[in-house]
């Protein structure tokens, strides 16, 4: 009898993925060990990266300096440059502000490497600022200031994006509390504070909006009130509700009759609050506007 051959169906070849799954099923303990080992290595790597990035944190407020493109000098930041170059000791013709958006070079404070603008040093790997704005070239390690970049203003501001809104007519950011109540004045903050003469648009101090729409430092406004000054330095309108004060003026005038030669004397006045012109009886204490009942007036004739 001859040889008998039986043809068995050929089994398909297993892929590498299937082989890997079979291997894991056969050796579950070794796979767990590999997984734990990989996790430990990843944690160690992340810890090392964070250690490198965090070197020098909060020692200088930021971990780099900038090279000013206007004068080619090195400063801590654009505020440092502007304060130094606009000092009273600098020749007026040489005073200038830095074009912050044109900054191209920074110097790492840890290794001293000068390089192109970036958040991480290309030489030592340190993070040169926990907050970094590529547009403004601003570095800062103190993120408690809640810095954010406003596209409308074109600069970085502090206080948290959620707490402010940009008014495109005024051309600046205001507190969200003023969103539906502030009077719009075109370019409201693009001028100096009328008290201390600091440029309000780039000021790091709190700015407030007066009822007339003009802007002023909050601290300067408080100093005005401390000296009993309650009129806007720019337009002379009252900066707060003065009705209680006007009532006291009424009582003072009623208690102070004018001498007979002046009792019927008429003068023309302009009201600083409502802008109306009128003719009223003269009194040495003050003249009252017959329209809005304000004593914030000025004599124009008579």
Q: Within the chain, which residues score under 70 in pLDDT?
A: 1-60
pLDDT of the residue at 8 = 39
pLDDT of the residue at 19 = 47
- pTM metric for this prediction: 0.66
For residue range 176-226, list pLDDT tens digits in order.
988 888 888 888 889 999 999 999 998 888 888 999 989 999 999 999 999
Q: What share of the chain is helix, strand, coil (3-state, %, to 5)?
A: 30, 20, 50
pLDDT of the residue at 58 = 56
User: ∠ CA(104), CA(105), CA(107), 5° rounding?
Assistant: 155
Task: Please state, for a pLDDT cut of 70, what percent of the chain lies above it.
Answer: 80
| Residue 178 CB partners (closer than 8 Å, separation 6+) | 209
For residue range 243-275, list pLDDT tens digits in order.
999 999 999 999 999 998 888 899 999 999 999
Phi, psi dihedrals of residue 218, rounded to the nearest 5°: -60, -40
- Can you tell me the distance from the alpha carbon of 218 to that of 238, in angstroms, rounded to the nearest whole number? 16
């Amino acid at each position: 009898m001859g040889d008998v051959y039986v043809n068995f169906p050929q089994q398909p070849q297993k892929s590498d993925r299937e082989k890997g799954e079979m291997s894991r099923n056969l050796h579950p303990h070794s796979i767990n060990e590999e997984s734990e080992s990989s996790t430990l290595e990843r944690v160690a790597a992340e810890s090392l990266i964070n250690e490198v990035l965090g070197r020098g944190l909060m020692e200088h407020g930021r971990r780099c300096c900038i090279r000013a493109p206007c004068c080619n000098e090195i400063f801590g930041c654009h505020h440092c440059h502007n304060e130094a170059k606009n000092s009273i000791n600098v020749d007026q013709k040489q005073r200038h502000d830095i074009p912050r958006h044109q900054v191209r070079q920074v110097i790492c404070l840890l290794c001293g490497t000068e390089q192109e603008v970036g958040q991480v040093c290309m030489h030592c790997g340190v993070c040169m600022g926990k907050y970094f704005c590529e547009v403004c070239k601003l570095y800062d390690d103190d993120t408690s200031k809640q810095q954010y970049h406003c596209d409308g203003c074109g600069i970085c501001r502090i206080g948290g994006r959620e707490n402010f809104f940009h008014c495109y007519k005024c051309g600046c950011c205001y507190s969200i509390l003023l969103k539906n109540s502030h009077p719009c004045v075109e370019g409201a903050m693009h001028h100096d504070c009328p008290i201390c003469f600091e440029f309000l648009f780039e000021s790091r101090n709190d700015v407030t909006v007066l009822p007339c729409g003009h802007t002023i430092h909050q601290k300067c406004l408080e100093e005005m009130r401390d000296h009993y000054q309650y009129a806007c330095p720019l337009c002379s309108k009252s900066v707060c509700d003065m009705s209680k004060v006007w009532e006291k003026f009424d009582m003072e005038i009623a208690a102070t009759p004018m001498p007979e030669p002046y009792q019927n004397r008429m003068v023309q006045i302009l009201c600083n609050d409502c802008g109306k012109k009128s003719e009223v009886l003269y009194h040495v204490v003050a003249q009252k506007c017959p329209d809005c009942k304000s004593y914030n007036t000025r004599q124009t004739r008579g």
